[in-house]
Amino acid sequence: MLITGIAELVTCESTTEGAVDEPLHAGLGVLRDAAVVIGGGGEDSAPTVEWVGPAAQAPAADWAIDLEGRSVVPGFVDSHSHLVFAGDRSAEFAARMSGTPYDGGGIAVTVEATRAATDGELRATLQHRVQEMRAQGTTTVEVKSGYGLTVEDEVRALRLAREVTPEVTYLGAHVVPPDRRDPAGRAAYLDLVCGEMLQACAPHARWVDVFCEPASPHAFDGQESRRVLEAGRDAGLELRVHGNQLGEGPGAQLAVELGAASVDHCTYLTDADVEALAGSDTVATLLPGVEFSTRQPYPDARRLLDAGARVAIASDCNPGTCYSSSMPLMIALAVREMGMTPAEALRAATVGGAQALRRTDIGRVAVGLRADLALVDAPSWLHIPYRVGVPVVRALEV
């Protein structure tokens, strides 16, 4: 399949020959008047990119589509979401807009509704949310459990998530269930999360995550989080951390120390946190939809980038802190509110997300990589943040 008529092709690949040399497009490997050839793909394998270059030099192919001056970017890699849930918390959002702060307590509402839902109900809403993401340009999504909080309900969430993505995360340590908040109950729940629940969940997940937030009575402190992560690692899982969302805390440095792929939120970072992140491979994943939906201050992406840290942006799509699946919105917020240039924000939503998931086959457009592309209905990729709120991007179905 030959795709031609591409006004701007963003490759996110520094070695792209003939890429435009303009500051606005720095780091994006942008080709103008480009073409891409896609091949392969079958029962067990995804289509891959076979050729990238100027349209005038494109080889012949069996099929061709002409994009007539539209643009193409790598499909977005949304490295943080909680899509397996039931119930509605719109009233909690409304309360926050008039001043009620977020503390994680509402998670219990979703846990109750999710436990009560049938597999069929959860599967249908999950698939709908994934489709909603594709319709906005997302081609890879990470999905967490964390609204079950019993062995059976956590396994169920992971099995369902595995039907839509290989990037599945065990988050039994999302919150301590409300009926176990007394010290003995809390200790017993932690034993469960690091013991029987972990053993049952590990075969269905790639990652383990923990809500490390000493500022919330519902979440886990540094010591508890360390225990969850080390147990997960011993069970063969790779590490991710929810950290520094509601206040300064140990999450970011714990993530670095344990070699986590990513620490997510990073809303409140000390200089030492930024320094630790900059000296590591751990990606700082920023979730600006959360700050939008909780009225918190946005994290300072500029500070992280200038220090040399790796930065990704993701949606965190979940019923509590951000019920938006829109990566284009996250890019726009990153540009408008977090000090990122449009090019940095696009990189953070593509190749940055891929780094946060330790994937080298996605997030860029280059020969041999997955043909996960998104179509921008505009003459430049810049229209993604420029036309905020307008559905200009969608996954390219090949």
Q: What's the min distance (Å) between Cβ of 8 and ligand NIG?
A: 33
Q: Pick between residue 232 and residue 342 the one whose CB is nearest to Fe ion.
A: 232
Residue 290 is a binding residue for ligand NIG (CB under 6 A): yes
DSSP 220: B
Say how far apart CA 49 and CA 39 lie, in whole Å: 6
| Position among 245, 282, 296, 325 found at the interface with ligand NIG (CB under 6 A) | 245
H-state helical runs in 23-106: 90-97
Distance CA 185, CA 182 (A): 5
Q: Is the dihedral of CA 10, 15, 17, 21 positive or negative?
A: positive
**The token pair that represents 174 in the structure block:** 């999302």
Q: Is the dihedral of CA 359, 223, 106, 246 positive or negative?
A: negative
Q: What's the Cα-to-Cα distance from 272 to each of 60, 251, 275, 307, 387, rounded to whole Å?
A: 54, 12, 5, 11, 37
Closest CB to Fe ion among residues 11, 81: 81
Q: How many residues bind ligand NIG (CB under 6 A)?
A: 14
The one among 107, 212, 241, 349 contacting ligand NIG by CB under 6 A: 107
Q: Is 41 left (phi over 0), alpha (psi -120 to 50) or beta?
A: left
Residue number with the shortest CB distance to ligand NIG? 320
Say if CB 210 and CB 241 are below 8 A apart. Answer: yes
Distance of CA 241 to the CA centre of its chain: 12
* Residue 92 or 372 with smaller CB distance to ligand NIG: 92
Q: Bridge partners of 13?
A: none
Residue 25 or 242: the one with the smaller Cβ distance to ligand NIG is 242
| Options 18-26, 176-184, 252-260, 319-327: segment touching ligand NIG (CB under 6 A) | 319-327
Instruction: Say whether residue 213 binds Fe ion (CB under 5 A).
Output: no
Binding of Fe ion at residue 78 (CB under 5 A)? Answer: no
Q: Taking CB under 6 A as the rule, which mask of x and - marks residues 77-96 in contact with ligand NIG?
A: -----x--------------
Kindly list the distances between the CA atom of residue 145 and the CA atoms of 13, 154, 191, in Å, as whole numbers in the listed order. Answer: 33, 6, 18
Per-residue binder mask for Fe ion (CB under 5 A), 316-355, x = binder: x---------------------------------------
The answer to the question of residue 142 lying near Fe ion (CB under 5 A) is no
Between 112 and 119, name the residue whose CB sits nearer to ligand NIG: 112
The reply to whether 288 sits near ligand NIG by the rule CB under 6 A is no
Contacting positions for ligand NIG (CB under 6 A): 82, 104, 106-107, 110, 211, 242, 245, 290, 316, 318-321
